[in-house]
A = this chain, B = another copy of it.
C-alpha cells in the first residue's frame, strides 16, 4: 500500500516558545508547509503528564504557543494546528496499543530512561510517563504521519512507533498504518544565554519570541562571553562566546560577523558594543514577529477559532482512521 507523505510535529504547551525552537523547528515548519501536508499538535495531555497539578499553566500556554506559531509564519491555510486533548481517538488508539507493547520494552526505551533520570522520578514514575511512547505512537498514527521532525535523542520514540505499527498490521492482517521516518534536524541545538548546552525555559536561559525589546536587551547584555576579556583593549576569545555563537546563527551578514570576530580577537571591541550589535540583529528578527503577535493577541477568540477549526479537521481524519482500526480489530458493532 502507498501512503501519502504526512508530517506530524508539535510542542508541549509548558511555556512560550524561544529562539531555540525558532531555529530548531519553527523555521523548518514554515518551509515544510509548502512541500507536505503538515499537522502541528499542541500536546496539552502530554504536558499534563508532569504538570498534573497545574492545569491552568498548561491551558494558558496553549494560547501562547498558538500565538508563537502564527506570528512566525505558520499558516493555518497550509498547516493544520490542533490540540491533543480534543482528539479522543488518540486516547482510544493509545489504549489499544498498550496491549501490543510490553512493560519491559517501555522501561528499556532510551529516551524514556534518560528523561526518567533527568526528572529523578526514582520509584515513583507515573504510569502515564512510562506509557508516553505509546501515546506518541497514537499521536503519529492517528493522522498516519510518515515524516516526523525530531532531534537525535527522539529516534527511539520513532522506532517504538514503528514496532507498534508493524505489530498492529501483522496481528490484524491489514496494512492500516504506514511506518514513520524521522526527519532529523540538521541545525544543532541553540545554546542558552549562559553558555549551557541547551536553551530552555526550565534553565532560565532563554530568549522568548514574545520578549519585548527591553527584555531582549537585558538578556543579551547578560550573555556569557569571554570571562578573561576584561578591558576593551584586551584580546578576546570567540570559542564558547555566546554572542558570536548567536551571530553565527542569526546574522545573515556573514562578512560583518567575520570582521567583528577579527576585531574581538585582536582587542579593541568591547562586550557592550558587541552585544548592542547582536541586540540589533535579534531585534530586527523579532520585531515583525512581535508586531504580528501583538496584533493577533488583540483578538484571542479568533486565534482560538483557528485551533478549533484545525482540531475539527483532525477529528474527521482521526475518525476515519479509527473506523479502519475498528474494522481490522472486529470492533465495528452494527
Contact = CB atoms under 8 A, between A and B. Distances in A.
Interface stretch (A28-36, A47-55, A141-149, A202-210): A47-55
A53 B124 contact: no
Nearest to A134: B127
Interface string A187-230: 00000000000000000000000000000000000000000000
A100 interface: yes
A95 B94 contact: yes
Contacts of A98: 126-128, 131
Interface residues of A, number: 52
Copies per complex? 2
A128 B99 CA distance: 5
A25 B131 CA distance: 34
A276 interface: no
Contacts of A86: 333
A116 to B, nearest CB: 10
Counting from the closest, the 9 A-B pairs by CB-CB distance are A98-B128, A99-B128, A55-B330, A59-B330, A91-B91, A91-B92, A91-B95, A88-B88, A98-B127
Interface of A: 44-45, 48-49, 52-53, 55-56, 58-59, 62, 83, 85-86, 88-89, 91-92, 94-96, 98-104, 106, 123-131, 134-135, 171-172, 304, 307-308, 311, 326, 329-331, 333-334
